A and B are shown apart, each in its own frame.
Chain A
Amino acid sequence: MTVMIDLKNVSYRYPVSDDFVLKNVSFSIEKGKFTAIIGNNGSGKTTLCNTIRGFVPHFYKGDLEGDVIVDQTKILDYQLGQLGEKVGYVFQNPFIQVSGVKDNVFEEVAYGLENLGVPVEEIIVRVEEILKLVKIEHLREKNPFELSGGQRQRVALASIIVMDPEILVIDEPTSQLDPVGTEQIFDIIRLMKERGKTIILVEHKMDLIAEYADDLLVMHEGELVMQGPVREVFANPEFEKYQIQYPHVTEIALQLQKMGTPLAFLPIRDEELAEALNMTGVKIHD
């Protein structure tokens, strides 16, 4: 397995912040893995994404210590423009995340490909495919400024994955979406994983993380406090300390455990609950 993203003792401070916002963060992500970053507000998740995408320090400046290595090359040795092809970045605010010069969604999604110099015929084919994939074909003639938050989030995601980057960094892509829209986004992310993309996702919806993600990074006040396979992290008693939500079923299972019900293992997906209880011989139905 090749390492795609590698951070070694990374600390970072924005030019105007007093404290370090990232403190001595180290981890590595293998090619093709789906890693979720979780943590409370202000814990540094977005900053971490910016670091992987090279906006820290290329754009934000400030003091960066340690090494950030993306696909075997130090981030400092990339040009900002080069990283655009390698790392796709969908960020938090869907309202600003439009090019600001396109009249309709089709052209909006095509914008990145135009900038990459892709031939026009190919652009049209690729955009058509992505519109279908992200289920926004019906929006193609709409002005990006007239879309709802959820629609914009999908357009933003489409605009990035159409560029076919090897790495996808996605910061809270479902904040404006209802449960159905959220499921759809996760479906697309899963599809991207099947296509071999390396995915980094910031998300608060733990049930979905438990269902789809491979690994978990837990941020707390700028420190990377826990990391590992999703199941292991949730099962670690230390997790409770950071006051981050558990998946629903895990929450319930932990309650049951506290009340004396033995568990075979800690379930993190809904369908595992019965199994976790059954194996210990507790009968749900008499």
Chain B
Amino acid sequence: MKQNILLQLHPLTKFYFSLFILVIVLIIPGYSFAFAIFPVLVLIAVFAGVSKEFLSIVLKALLSVLIIVFIMQMFFYPGDHVLWNWGIFSIKQEGVDYGLLLTSRILAIGSSFILFFRMTEVRDFVKSLEDKGLPPMGAYVVLSTLQIIPEMKRQANTIMEAQKTRGVETEGSLLIRAKAFIPTLTPLILSSIAGTEERAITLESRAFSAPVKKTSLHQLTKSNVDRVLPIVYVLIIVGLLVWRFFL
């Protein structure tokens, strides 16, 4: 896994690839091309060894959206070429076409971002942005958010359990369940906020605002491929734009 060439690409190279997909899908008209992107992404996922996670997240996150979007367009997009009719419902050719266009784009763009995050550690991505000039505080906020979320979820569960043993109902009518919400969330929020003061002191004690340029144990390397690929993306996009608007 560690030796995988695709995974070893610089985070920004991978990120630019997702942006590249976004741009070309919007430039090239019609849905066939956008739909054709998806198998390509699957292939990349297979080569990167992340196909399982990739496909499962695409299914979970996008499938229902795609179906709903398509059905909505099929029935409600205005048009004259009625294909099928039942009472107030009618399927029109224009709706089907627009539905395919929308879903093809959502699928291509959405799954390219899903793929990006399967192939890139968020920590590496943040580091690459920091190298590009994201202020240290911004990087800190994102990384610390990622650490706090599981911690808070765990605490929320603990508090819920404690509530239950103290007799706060979490089952029953809507009102009863709603009443359990506040005593669970409030102490969690208050104690977290109470900790910010000491967290600020901790950061200062660790010289967070020392007036020098920070170093980092964590270094990202750029290979030649990382230097060339972004240029290739840009050239292709420029080519497509010329083809689309000037030829």
Contact = CB atoms under 8 A, between A and B. Distances in A.
User: A–B direct touch, CB within 8 Å, in complex?
Assistant: yes
A81 B210 contact: yes
Interface string B193-232: 0010011111111111111111111110000000000000
A99 B206 contact: yes
B205 to A, nearest CB: 5
B201 A89 contact: yes
B202 A98 contact: yes
Contact of B200 (A53, A59, A160): A59
B146 to A, nearest CB: 8
B210 A82 contact: yes
Interface in A80-115: 80-82, 84-85, 88-91, 93, 96-101, 107, 110-115
A243 interface: no
B205 A89 contact: yes
B217 A107 contact: yes
B219 to A, nearest CB: 8
B201 A59 contact: yes
B148 interface: yes
A184 to B, nearest CB: 21
B209 A81 contact: yes
Given A101-B143, A117-B213, A81 B207 contact: yes
A230 interface: no
Contact-residue size bin, chain B (C-beta under 8 Å from the other chain): 20 to 34
B140 interface: yes
A59 B140 contact: no
B3 interface: no
Interface in B152-173: none
B210 A84 contact: yes
B179 to A, nearest CB: 30
A47 interface: no
Contact of A115 (B144, B206, B218): B206
A252 B140 CA distance: 53
B151 interface: yes
B4 interface: no
Interface string A206-250: 000000000000000000000000000000000000000000000
Contact of B210 (A90, A97, A101, A115): A115
Contacts of B213: 117
Contacts of A111: 206
B210 A100 contact: no
A101 B140 contact: yes
Given A82-B210, A110-B217, A91 B144 contact: no
Interface of A: 53, 55, 59, 79-82, 84-85, 88-91, 93, 96-101, 107, 110-120, 123-124, 145, 159-160, 163
15 contacts: A79-B209, A96-B199, A97-B198, A97-B202, A100-B143, A100-B144, A112-B205, A112-B207, A114-B217, A115-B207, A115-B208, A120-B219, A145-B151, A160-B205, A160-B206
